[in-house]
């Protein structure tokens, strides 16, 4: 099978040789674990991804990593040796270097000050000309919360209130907000973001409360699992919560993730088709943790996995 990607007004169409699928916006996961801290490498990666025809770039978030020797019994996906660029600063840099949509996938919102995030996100949105999509989530690392002076235990409830405050700060010239965790009285952000408000997506995998939160208040859902029964079950919980909240459940976007570093084209096509079948609006291709060491190898893996030529119709 071959996949054809066609860039048209910021949307990329996917099809195999037998069937034309629905429109899906394709992006790439910024491989920050592998390409290090060279600003020119970061630039080259983003511009190469854009040159391949992708529409967005997604970046993960961790402010600090834990040293397990200080925390007996601790385990996690990443530690202090893993390289993470701060997403909003990274996007401020990329805003002037490419025309990609910039998506945090996800920013760990409750370990940050909501009003400061509102200001930073507004600035990225301005510098990018309205191309920020703010993905947020509650995270999993209590050590990181401790290092930032925020509570881990109530992070879900706090994030829900933070989302309401962000939207108010982005869309009102003067804000008067009183919540259980935030009191923001008689202030405003200037200049405001281009988007009114910036779209807020949420990451959630299996936690029922988190999935329900996506359905109630998020503009979209980031999912890192492979399409299948578990994803179907999670999506149904999101859509049920959206319906209960009086929303159209199909207004909630879906971004899936497909790892492409191993070059298994058959599996890649199957997973993309799986996302298409459940109505995904976005899919990001990841190349991290595949033994790739530099920008050229990551870009080559993306290109080889697609097995295509890209036609620009803009």
Cβ neighbours, 10 Å, residue 313? 9
Confidence at residue 232, expressed as pLDDT on a 0 to 100 scale: 97
Question: In a 3-state reduction of DSSP, which class is residue 118?
Answer: helix
DSSP for 223-268 reads --SPSSHHHHHHHHHHHHHHHHTT--GGGSEEEEEEE-TT--HHHH
For residue 312, pLDDT over 70 is answered with no
**Which architecture, in CATH terms, is 6-312?**
Alpha-Beta Barrel (3.20)
125: left (phi over 0), alpha (psi -120 to 50) or beta: alpha
| DSSP assignment letter at 85 | -
Sequence-ordered list of residues with C-beta below 8 angstroms from that of 233, at least 6 positions apart, any chain: none
Reported as a pLDDT band with limits 50, 70 and 90, residue 307 is: low
Q: Which of 275, 246, 258, 237 is nearest to 29 (CA)?
A: 258
Could you report the per-residue pLDDT of 40-80, keeping only the tens digit for each? 999 999 999 999 999 999 999 999 999 999 999 888 999 99
Burial 207-221 (b: 16+ CB within 10 A, else e): eeebbbbbbbbbbbb
Q: Could you please report the per-residue DSSP string of 189-202?
A: -SSPPSSSS--EEE
Asked whether the predicted pLDDT for residue 224 surpasses 80, the reply is yes
Q: How confident is the model at residue 266 (pLDDT cuts 50, 70, 90)?
A: confident
CB 133 within 8 A of CB 181: no
pLDDT level of residue 263 (50, 70, 90 thresholds)? confident
**All structural domains of the chain with their residue ranges:** 6-312
pTM: 0.91
Question: Is residue 129 a contact partner of residue 191, using CB atoms and an 8 Å limit?
Answer: no
Distance CA 240, CA 84 (A): 35
Nearest CA-CA partner of 161 in 237, 216, 220, 199: 216
pLDDT of 3 above 80: no
């Amino acid at each position: 099978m071959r996949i054809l990607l066609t860039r048209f007004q910021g949307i990329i169409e996917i099809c195999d040789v037998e069937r034309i699928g629905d429109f899906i916006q394709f992006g790439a996961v910024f491989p920050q674990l592998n390409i290090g801290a060279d600003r020119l490498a970061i630039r080259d990666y983003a511009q190469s991804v854009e040159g391949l025809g992708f529409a967005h770039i997604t970046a993960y978030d961790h402010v600090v990593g834990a040293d397990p020797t200080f925390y007996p019994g601790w385990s996690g996906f990443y530690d202090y040796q893993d390289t993470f660029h701060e997403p909003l600063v990274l996007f401020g840099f990329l805003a002037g270097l490419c025309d990609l949509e910039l998506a945090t996938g996800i920013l760990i919102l409750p370990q940050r000050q909501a009003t400061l995030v509102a200001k930073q996100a507004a600035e990225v949105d301005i510098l990018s000309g309205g191309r920020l999509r703010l993905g947020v989530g509650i995270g999993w690392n209590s050590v990181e919360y401790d290092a930032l002076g925020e509570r881990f235990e109530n992070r879900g409830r706090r994030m829900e209130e933070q989302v309401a405050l962000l939207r108010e700060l982005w869309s009102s010239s003067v804000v008067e907000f009183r919540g259980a965790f935030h009191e923001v009285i008689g202030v405003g952000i200037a200049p405001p973001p281009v988007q009114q408000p910036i779209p807020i997506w949420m990451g959630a995998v299996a936690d029922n409360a988190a999935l329900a939160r996506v359905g109630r208040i998020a503009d979209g859902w980031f999912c890192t699992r492979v399409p299948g029964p578990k994803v179907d079950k999670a999506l149904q919980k999101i859509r049920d919560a959206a319906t209960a909240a009086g929303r159209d459940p199909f207004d909630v976007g879906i971004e899936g993730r497909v790892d492409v570093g191993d070059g298994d084209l058959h599996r890649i096509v199957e997973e993309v088709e799986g996302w298409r079948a459940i109505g995904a609006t976005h899919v990001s291709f990841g190349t991290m943790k595949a033994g790739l060491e530099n920008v050229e190898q990551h870009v080559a893996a993306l290109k080889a996995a697609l097995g295509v030529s890209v036609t620009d119709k803009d």
